[in-house]
Amino acid sequence: MLTIVVYDVSVDKVNKVCKILRQYMNWVQNSVFEGDLTKNDVKEIEDKVKGLIDIERDSIIFYFIENENFIKKMYLGKKKANLSKIL
């Protein structure tokens, strides 16, 4: 399942969240990852991240897209990552 993850967490957690997401997804730019996740991947990320973030302050959003034909992407400025696949 195509997935975009964006996170807004306190500074001391940024690297930790980034490290977890990097195991499953591609870094796109600061606080943004893209990937093709299974339901099990999502569950694993949830479990790892929930033990880390402060649910009263930190926020992580997952956008799930059914099919890559349903989404188009446009860059303004620098493309910070060279993704080998999807989106």
Task: Return residues touching a copy of itself (CB under 8 A).
Answer: 4, 6, 8-9, 28-32, 46, 49-50, 53-67, 70-80, 87
CB within 8 Å of 72: residues ≥ 6 apart:
none
Pair 36, 85: CB distance under 8 Å:
yes
Of the pair 72, 84, the CB lying nearest a copy of itself is at: 72
Query: Smallest gap, in angstroms, from Cβ of residue 52 to a copy of itself?
Result: 10
Separation of alpha carbons 8 and 39, rounded Å: 23
Of the pair 72, 85, the CB lying nearest a copy of itself is at: 72
Query: Smallest gap, in angstroms, from Cβ of residue 62 to a copy of itself?
Result: 4
Of the pair 25, 60, the CB lying nearest a copy of itself is at: 60
Interstrand relation of 32-36 and 26-29 (parallel, antiparallel or unpaired): antiparallel
